[in-house]
Amino acid sequence: MSKHPAFEEEQKALVETYSLIDQLFALLKSGVEAGADRAAKSAIAKLNVEDIEALKGQRHEPYFGRLRINDPESDPLDLYIGRVPVTTPTNDVRVMSWKSSMAAAWYKTSFAPAQVQIEKNKLKGSGKRKVAVEVVGRRQIEIKNEVLKDVKDSFWVEAGVPSAAGATVPAADSGDTFLTKVLERDRTDAFEDIVPTITTDQYELIADDKGGPRVIDGVPGSGKTTVAFHRLSYLVSTEREAAKRLSSSRVLALGPSPLFVLWSGSIRSSLQLDAVNYYTVEDWMWRWL
């Protein structure tokens, strides 16, 4: 199978990303050790320590996609998207979190360039407001155990010209092949996150900012619980405005059985939900009696 024309470019980008990740880990370590100099302490103060700690568990796959966005208010943006954000010590974004406002451009597009309404956030420091941007590139990137395995374009426009796997994507080269690879990975009894393969409909449920209760209905095995965990992760994310964000320690999640709670441990860790109170209904009731 021939490699994608941008495979070497993406290989170089991955090496640069791992170099930055190692730099962040080293900075964090120097802050723990005695004798860190003033420059190191200043750089550490700008870091999100929680994100860097979470990144340790995601080093094997720091991102799964790349977006090219034309923003009418700034220069074109090329951004990678992953489970945990990766930023430089000077706060430049290398990898955006799937929970960031800009990530809506990933989940609301599929196989053709499109305009998407996003909420501008600290990425460009322009406050919180809706802005229409044009998504001209959506690239799926498969990384396994720190090795770049495959690159697929859902669509990609280079200098105004669609790539070979551009706006009209052949079925054999579409995102379906990427999804199939994800689904064919070894499965366990535990819940696993679906961050790389969240559909537009699922994202609308996860990122809905309207108030009031939500009821997710579906047959057994349709992903109701998985979507609920992702929504909870979104609601407590530090990517959200403080006024909208829920405090993890003040959230209560209830599961039907101890085994269910045990099985959900993996997904809760990968979605940074370890601080959320999670019990069976019976355990929770005994705590309050």
User: 108-137, pLDDT tens digit by residue?
Assistant: 998 889 898 887 654 455 557 788 889 999
**pLDDT of amino acid 230:** 96
Tell me: pLDDT of 212 over 50.
yes
Q: Please state, rounded to an integer, the average pLDDT across all residues of the chain.
A: 83
Quickly state the pLDDT bin for 167 (edges 50, 70, 90): very low
Over residues 238-259, mean pLDDT = 90
**pLDDT of amino acid 94:** 93
User: 133-160, pLDDT tens digit by residue?
Assistant: 899 999 999 999 999 999 999 999 875 5
Name residue 11's amino acid. Q
Contacts of 127 (CB under 8 A, 6+ apart): 120
Over residues 62-77, mean pLDDT = 89
The proportion of the chain whose per-residue pLDDT surpasses 90, expressed as a percent, equals 46
Quickly state the pLDDT bin for 166 (edges 50, 70, 90): very low
Tell me: pLDDT of 84 over 50.
yes
Tell me: pLDDT of 190 over 70.
no
